[in-house]
Chain A
Amino acid sequence: MATTTTAPVVTHKDAHQTNTGISNNKLAMWLFLGTECLLFGGLISTYLLYKTRGNGRTLPTDIFDIPFTSVSSFVLLMSSLTMVLALSAINRGEVERSRAWLLTTAMLGGVFVGGQVYEFTTFVREGVGFTTNPASSAFYTLTGFHGVHVSIGILLLMSLVVASVQGKLKQSNAETVEIIGLYWHFVDIVWIFIFTVIYLIPAE
């Protein structure tokens, strides 16, 4: 009674299939982003509560440089475009083009972080340090946390670029690019919120 069994053909894609039809890594990233909403929500609410508490000293809102921050915001927004173009290229198997877009995204992120460092330096020169008043503490904590997120994103992007140069990033790894892209876009939409609520809406 010999029985013939046919072994299922397991491809790379099949190895990661789940009963939701979504890979665990992607699901975990979305879950993580959902929790990040709570983190940034707390930081933004704290700033809103403290933004007028200057203890008689200069408030961050008094020295905002809106034209400068607008350029930074535009740069971060365009980095979302280059990120999605990197994903689009790797999905088509165009590894070199994808690498170029990933590098561009990391560079735009670097310009944004550089702008933030310049802004912080200017604020400190104007006498608004981290412990100057509750408003400045809340402002630095919120924007600093965001800056750290962007910096982590740059490191993740550069790791993809390095993997690409070493020939380890192929079309089959498109999901890795997509997951890091999700993180990057999230950092962008958090800034969309911060730019409007913290910078553009008048303090009074």
Chain B
Amino acid sequence: MSDNVTDVETETAPDDDHHPSDLQYVKIALVLGLITAVEVFTYFESVLDWGDALIPSLLVMMVVKFWLVARMFMHLKQDKPILSGLFITGLGMAVAVYIVALLAFQFWN
């Protein structure tokens, strides 16, 4: 009996201790702000001409920002994997369905 109680307590123990500190959150926000600044600079071609690297670079920066917010601010890194699974399933389905839709409408032609 006592073993069972211990199991439940261990399994459902709050994981708040593993959350980043306020300073770490501020550092993450600074990184996000810096990436946004670089994204905005791509708009001003007079500053730097990105050429063919523009769209891939913007997409990579977008994914990094997305990943940082989801992992750190939404605590997917610390929370149970089932939550990441739910979100990634929804996101993956959306990306797959709409890539097929865009292909069907010959978006890239």
Q: Which residues on A are within 8 Å of B, measured CB to CB?
A: 13, 17, 20-22, 26-27, 30-31, 33-38, 40-42, 44-45, 48-49, 66-67, 70, 73-74, 77-78, 80-81, 83-85, 88, 91, 178, 181-182, 185-186, 188-189, 192-193, 195-197, 200-202
A77 near B89 (CB under 8 angstroms)? Answer: no
A73 near B102 (CB under 8 angstroms)? Answer: no
**B46-81 interface mask toward A, CB cutoff 8 Å, 1 = contact, 0 = none?**
000000001100110110011001100111000110
Contact A35:B61 (CB < 8 A) given known A74-B36, A185-B69? no
B103 CB to closest chain A CB (Å) equals: 11
**B1-13 interface mask toward A, CB cutoff 8 Å, 1 = contact, 0 = none?**
0000000100110
B86 partner, pick from A31, A41, A178, beta carbons under 8 A: A31
Q: Which A residues touch B89, using CB under 8 A? A: 34
- 6 A-B pairs within 8 Å (CB atoms) are namely A27-B82, A33-B90, A42-B94, A66-B40, A81-B26, A185-B70
Q: How many residues of B contact A (CB 8 A)?
A: 50
A88 near B25 (CB under 8 angstroms)? Answer: yes
B66 near A33 (CB under 8 angstroms)? Answer: no
Q: Which A residues touch B32, using CB under 8 A? A: 77, 80
B98 near A42 (CB under 8 angstroms)? Answer: yes
Nearest A-chain residue to B72, judged by Cβ: A84
Contact A49:B39 (CB < 8 A) given known A34-B86, A35-B90, A189-B69? no
B40 near A185 (CB under 8 angstroms)? Answer: no
Contact A189:B102 (CB < 8 A) given known A77-B36, A88-B19, A196-B39? no
